[in-house]
Amino acid sequence: MTHPATQAAAPGLAVVALGGNAITLENQAGTYDEMADNCRDMARALWALIGSGWRVVITHGNGPQVGNLALQGMRSADEVPPLPLHALDAMTQGLIGHLIELAIVNEAPAQSPPVASVVTHVVVGNDDPAFDHPTKPIGPFYSFEEGARLAARHGWQVIDDSSRGQRRVVASPKPLAILEVDALKLMIDAGILVIACGGGGIPVSEDMGIHGVEAVIDKDRSAAVLAAAVNADALILVTGVDSVMVDFGTPAAHVLTEASTERMRGLLAEGQFPPGSMGPKVEAAIAFAEDSGGTAVITSAAHLADALAPDACVGTRIVAMAPALSHGRGTA
Catalytic entry in 38, 136, 139, 201: 136
Q: What percent of the chain lies above the pLDDT cut of 90?
A: 64
Catalytic residue among 61, 139, 199, 281: 281
Residue 281 a catalytic site member? yes
Catalytic residue at 21? yes
- At residue 102, the pLDDT reads 97
Residue-wise burial string across 255-289, b where 16 or more C-beta atoms lie within 10 A, e elsewhere = bbbbbbbebbeebbeeebbbbbbbbbbbbbbbbbb
Q: Encode pLDDT of 223-259 as tens digits.
A: 999 999 999 999 999 988 899 999 988 899 899 999 9
pLDDT digits (tens, 9 = 90+) for 140-149: 788 999 889 9
Global pTM reads 0.88
Best CA proximity match to 147, nearest among 131, 161, 135, 130: 161
20 is catalytic: yes
Q: Which of 68, 147, 219, 315 is catalytic?
A: 219
Q: How far apart are CA 34 and CA 22, in angstroms?
A: 11
- Would strands 13-18 and 55-60 be described as parallel, antiparallel, or unpaired? parallel
How is the chain split into domains, by residue range?
A: 233-332
Which tens digits make up the pLDDT trace of 256-280? Answer: 999 999 999 999 999 999 876 788 8
Catalytic residue at 219? yes
293 is catalytic: no
Q: Which amino acid is at 295?
A: T
Catalytic residue among 20, 61, 147, 315: 20
Instruction: For residue range 106-126, list pLDDT tens digits in order.
Output: 999 888 899 999 999 999 999
In this structure, whether the domain defined by 233-332 belongs to CATH 3.40.50.740 is answered with no
In 180-202, which positions are buried (b, 16+ CB within 10 angstroms) versus exposed (e)? Answer: bbeebeebbeeebbbbbbbbbbb
pLDDT of amino acid 329: 39
pLDDT digits (tens, 9 = 90+) for 160-207: 887 778 888 889 999 999 999 999 999 999 999 999 999 999 999 998
**What is the pLDDT, as a whole number, of residue 327?**
36
